[in-house]
Chain A
Amino acid sequence: MFACIYISDFAVEAIVRDEPLLRARAVAVLEGKPPMVCVVALNEKARRLGMEIGMTKLQAAVFATPEENSSAILRQRSPETEESAHSALLDIAHSFTPRVEDTAADMLLLDLAGLERLHGAHAKMARKLASRVSVVGLKANVALAANPDAAMHAARGFRGVTVIPKGKEAQRLGVLPLAVLLGTFELSLGNSDADRKKAREQMLDTLERWGVRDFRTLALLPDDALASRLGEVGAHLQRLARGAGMRTLALCESPSRFEEVMELESSVATLEPLSFILNRLLEQLRARLEARALAARELHLRLQLERRVADEETETAQDLISDSHNVRQFERTLRLPVAMRDVKVFLKLMQLELAAHPPGDPVAKVSITAEPAPPRLAQRGLFMPISPETEKLEITLARISGVVGERRVGIARLLDSHRRDSFRMDRFMAAPEESKQRKHPTASDIGKPALVLRLFRPVWQLQVEVSQGRPVNLTAVVLPSVRSELRGRIVWSAGPWCSSGDWWTENANRESAANNPACPWNREEWDVALANGNDGGVALYRIYRDLASGRWFADASYD
């Protein structure tokens, strides 16, 4: 058994998929360069209004009166939107069976042999297929027949779901007009558009002159007489009209790219309306991923920004030129800790990302690409320690980044260096993978607390009085009000402990700087007890002298 999924008025359906509210309206799709812009696709409501394919934009505009709800909506054709819709259709087909033929942008053929035990009877299978197609926002005609061509003709000729039992093809297809047959015949010619159209019209004209207007009439013509007049093409058409043709499907691979694109009629300058568009695209992506039992590991957001027009901030013409040429594409990437397909999480993360990094210019086109990955299947144990929900945590981390800044939240990963404060910030994961090399503290270690350092970031420059080679008095040089306790008499000191490093790097000839991680360091460290405060207490600090500059710094306190 074979199934055919056919999307009538595909160019319109692709636009309606992005804007579902248009489904209740008459829609006409325009294409071409001015002044040759004309209507290339219509839906049924637009046809009922009297619109026709080939109308110029001016003629079509007569039917599009903004005040009236019943008037037509005109939209520019978008090849990328159609490509997204076609990919969604392929995803749905591949979720059913891997044996799929990508016949045309608006038509797919599926080999359903052996799927009865999985999906049920043929009628049920056809309904399920139609319902899955509607999940991705498309309205399709679905037909099942014993051979691919009969299924194709039934899908093109009958609305909704059609199931043709084996042996009844000629009877069911008989009522269809010849335009349906020649529409698929046109596809099989494979020449240029103009040639195909010409061949189709010639054939239709010939058959009409003979009084042949539907499948049944053509099927009843004598085989030899038809072949002698129309050649092999005529015989082939007759076989198709009888529903007797059989061929092998040219199988296609499932699409590996999950991308949804929306071109906006008018550009969007604020985040709120953009959120609705993002939500729509993310919903479509989720439906496609779900159909293939996949999830997203990474999301790429690409915004095409409209050229900036001169405004009060534009001082010179050069500003405008440089702006318009430099800022055209805006891209952000969201890397997710685990593969997921929760649209709310995706949308919130994108909103936070765009709030932290606004595009700057009005958005004319939105594109979201998902990096597919198998969904997370692991279930945590009942007696495992509590940990934050991954999806919720991701949003929380994005919000915290918005408060404290990027790269200031995460886990500290120590670097293999003796340099002070050498670590890098990494992404925090709710369920870190167990590393065999990680040294866990043993139970005996717990309960043995130790003195630890509180680092000063940045280090504080000091004025230190030295006597007999040892520091005896110190005062913070800058911002004394911030760390007022960092002054006073040194009542005890231990040191110096010499440390140096990175002198072998290419930056070795540069002057050492306290906070430059690329520079070598060479210093003498001291542990000091500083008498401070009025209560007679001491505080323990680690100070050091940078041997390259001779300056003193307070590095940390012991606590």
Chain B
Amino acid sequence: MPSVATLRARLESSLPERLSSTLFMRERAAPLTVSSGVAALDALTGGLPRGALTEIAGPASSGRTGVMVATLAGATHRQEMCALVDASDSFDPASAATIGVDLDRLLWVRCNDMPRRKSSALSAKLGRLEQVLKVTDLLLQAGGFGMVVLDLGDIPPECARRVPLTSWFRFRRAVELTATVLLLVEQEPCAKTCASLVVQLEREAVCAGDLAPFNGRLVMAGGESSFPQNNAMSHAALLRGIQVRAEVVRSSTPGWMQRKPVQPAGVDFKLRASW
């Protein structure tokens, strides 16, 4: 009985005549990357890879949308056509235009509750997810977009996790040999191994008025609070921005894997209010 090694050797010697690349590992070239629009994030990740799926995850008010809009601004500035699949119809074009997004180059798809799915909140969100998946499929098949963004920021993680892994795999395969950046904005990472780059964002502090930045985590802990005493602020207090910490959870970029030991665990950057 031939051993596995013998069988493999036979197969390898016979197949190259028919299929030239069978059983041979192909060297994967480092993907081209584009700027995320945040210099600190680019320094950490090396940029968003083209032809791959990138996830930006974080809770509410953690700066996910700010990063997403900055990325779109950069892409439209490069005169690329972009598409935003907005699962919760929450995109604010006025804010985006202020930051520099060229709205003429942004295809905005506003998903909504399908009438037959208005029975419950959960089913409504699943209906929106279904629309997101269908629309993304259509956009990726059409091709030609420099960036396709899926905004699932308001979709609860338990709903987002219901998206079958095969869908993410299909999307990854659809963009693999193209120059499209597929960006997924969500609360928790859900595409698992299909994502080439996963960045987790956390809000470090809120900057308001002339006060020192305060952090919400300490307040609810009940201990020492870095919040101002409730509503004791002056009328002139303004929301000035938030301090965000970004960490790379996963990156399959070859260069990044080699650099990993010398990479910092995360970077801090600030999202300023536009006023």
Contacts and interface: CB of A to CB of B under 8 A. Distances in A.
A396 B108 contact: no
B37 A447 contact: yes
Interface string B145-179: 11000000110000000000000000000000001
B217 A535 contact: yes
B267 interface: no
Contact of A449 (B59, B67, B125): B67
B103 A539 contact: no
Nearest to A489: B230
Contacts of A403: 131, 134-135, 138
Contacts of A158: none
B230 A472 contact: yes
Given A408-B109, A531-B216, A446 B61 contact: no
B73 A537 contact: no
Contact of B93 (A423, A432, A456): A423
Contacts of B219: 491, 531, 536, 538
Nearest to B185: A559
Nearest to A441: B100
A412 B146 CA distance: 19
Given A412-B103, A457-B90, A559-B63, A450 B273 contact: yes
B11 interface: no
A371 to B, nearest CB: 24
A485 B92 CA distance: 20
Contact of A404 (B79, B92, B111): B111
A229 interface: no
Interface residues of A, number: 80
Contacts, number: 264
Contacts of B103: 411-414
Interface string A283-311: 00000000000000000000000000000
A536 B221 contact: yes
Contacts of A405: 112
B148 to A, nearest CB: 11
B216 A450 contact: no
Given A404-B112, A494-B209, A559-B60, A455 B90 contact: yes
Contact of B100 (A425, A445, A493): A445
Contacts of A430: 81, 144
Interface residues of B, number: 91
A340 to B, nearest CB: 16
Nearest to A413: B103
A449 B38 contact: yes
Interface in B69-98: 69-70, 73-74, 77-81, 88-98
B249 interface: no
Given A385-B146, A386-B179, A539-B61, A449 B271 contact: yes
A349 B135 CA distance: 17
B200 to A, nearest CB: 14
B255 interface: no
B90 A409 contact: no
Given A412-B103, A449-B38, A537-B203, A481 B121 contact: yes
Interface majority SS (helix, strand, loop, mixed), chain B: mixed
B251 interface: no
B65 A409 contact: no
Interface in B100-127: 100, 102-112, 121-122, 124-125
Nearest to B241: A451
Given A389-B144, A454-B65, A494-B239, A404 B110 contact: yes
A305 B187 CA distance: 51
Contacts of B214: 492
B238 interface: yes
A481 B102 CA distance: 35
A385 B64 CA distance: 26
A479 interface: yes
Contacts of A540: 61, 206, 239, 242
Nearest to B237: A494
B220 A536 contact: yes
A468 interface: yes
B239 A449 contact: no
Given A404-B110, A558-B242, 11 more contacts: A388-B142, A404-B131, A414-B94, A421-B94, A435-B104, A441-B73, A448-B70, A451-B66, A490-B231, A529-B206, A558-B61
Interface of B: 35, 37-39, 59-67, 69-70, 73-74, 77-81, 88-100, 102-112, 121-122, 124-125, 131, 134-135, 138-139, 141-146, 153-154, 179, 203, 206, 208-209, 214, 216-221, 227-228, 230-231, 233, 235, 237-239, 241-242, 269, 271-274
Interface of A: 384-389, 392-393, 395-397, 399-400, 403-405, 408-414, 421-423, 425, 428-430, 432, 435, 438, 440-441, 443, 445-457, 467-468, 470, 472, 479, 481-483, 485, 489-495, 527, 529, 531, 533-540, 556-559
Question: Which 8 pairs from chain A and chain B are nearest by CB?
Answer: A441-B100, A536-B220, A538-B216, A388-B144, A412-B93, A559-B65, A449-B70, A452-B95
